[in-house]
Amino acid sequence: MNVVQNSKLKTFYNKVYKKGESKHFTSFVTKGTPTNELNEVLKELNWKNKAVLDVGCGTGLFAHKVSKLGSKQVLGIDFSNEAIEIAKKTRKNRNLQYQVLDVKEIKSKYDVIVSLGTLEHMDNPLQILKILKKHLNRNGKIIVTSPNWTNPRGYVLMTLWHLFN
């Protein structure tokens, strides 16, 4: 993520997490209930003994779930200090760490890199994917999800966004 261009987004998410997720996100997210999307991603691989990077981990729901499935190492990164503080306090495991980190600062290599609903928030998604690819171990996997706004809920949300910003 480009820290300069994404500074507004970082400020926005820090406010969201400081105010409390329940005032912004739907209840299934804030109660830690896995979404269908998260459950489907969990089914994609055998997570045992994998080094996993969760890009844009928020408060750590996915990273925590994967850490409990036998991954040898899980790192959740986000550019929101507030989200990372919540993750560190609420979702812990011996093989799980969280860091406030820009994608361009990643040092290690991973067996699996996951970006759930975050790529669409990045200023240059193609550049980010190229960076992530450099941090994959041989035969590693990148799993990316992105919302589909072409549905009734998406049309309503996008209309509200454009009307009220």
Q: What are 19-30's pLDDT values in tens digits?
A: 766 555 544 444
The predicted pLDDT at position 131 comes to: 96
Contacts with 149 (C-beta within 8 Å, 6 or more apart), sequence order: 155, 157, 158
What sign does the CA torsion over 27, 45, 86, 12 have?
A: negative
pLDDT above 70 covers what percent of the chain? 82
Asked whether 104 and 132 are in contact (CB, 8 A), the reply is: no
Q: DSSP per residue over 6-27, as a string? A: THHHHHHHHHHHHH-GGGTS-H
Please provide the average confidence, as pLDDT, over all residues in the chain.
84
The predicted pLDDT at position 159 comes to: 83
Mean pLDDT to the nearest integer, 108-120: 93
